[in-house]
Amino acid sequence: MKLKTVEVKNVLRCEELFDNLNSRSAIVEGIGLVHGPSGFGKTTTMTWLFNQDHVDAIYVRCRATDTPSSLLTKIAFEMGLEPKYPLGRMVDDIVERMRYKELSLFVDEVDYVIGSARIMESLRDIYDLTQQPVLLIGMDQIARRISHRKQLFNRISEWIEFQPADFEDVALFADELLENEIRLEEDLLDAVQRKANGEVRRILSALEKIERKAIAADRDKISLDDVDIREIFLDSRRR
């Protein structure tokens, strides 16, 4: 399969979110929230967005072991800064660089640090002092958890909950990713969408298996009658 990001509905919505944050008026807050279940393509989408030529941003991924010091150090490193202590001085340097270069901040896997008041308040401080867009990315429960941090939650002006891929999304994945101009009939596309419950990770895994079968059979068109859909999804059930 081709290695590319397909601009399905969730991807287009993230582009719009980022554009809205950057074009907002001075009275509108600039924190965005992107959330949804695992396997729906959040990290892939946000990494793709981060790498677009028109996006000036830094990207950090939280870990379960992160502390205020470790996360701020990662942000500083991504900006090319030498981490300095105490932490307040590091925040000052980050703020100065973000404001000077007009950088946005992407924070992925924020679920890992939502329980740390110091980390979340540090992110709020960075936003308040720069007014540059900050995008928080997390799992499906992050919206509920972050709502308890009122000062941070009230600064979120744009949010997206990733939705399951629908039939049109699956068809677009197949059209843009499959090699050798392989085409899938509608009955097979529909079966893949329903069997995967719209989960992008499982959809892409299924499409790759179908592509291998089509290539092995030297077929450029394949329908539901040509594959065992239970076999296609057998591996992705074993978690």
User: For 190, phi and psi rounded to 5 degrees?
Assistant: -65, -40
Summarised one tens digit per residue, pLDDT across range 70-98 is 999 999 999 999 998 999 999 999 999 99
Summarised one tens digit per residue, pLDDT across range 16-67 is 999 999 999 999 999 999 999 999 999 999 999 999 999 999 999 999 999 9
- Per-residue pLDDT at 239 exceeds 60: no
Residue type, 91: V
- Higher per-residue confidence, 140 vs 171: 171
Chain mean position to CA 24 = 21
Output the six-digit token pair for 97. Answer: 């660089």
Chain mean position to CA 133 = 16
How far are the Cα atoms of 17, 75, 139 from residue 108, in angstroms, in the given order?
Answer: 16, 12, 10
The Cα 237–Cα 234 span in angstroms is: 5
Output the six-digit token pair for 171. Answer: 């068809």
pTM equals 0.91
The Cα 49–Cα 139 span in angstroms is: 18
CATH number belonging to domain 9-161: 3.40.50.300
Q: What is the model's pLDDT at position 129?
A: 97
DSSP, res 105: E
The Cα 41–Cα 210 span in angstroms is: 20
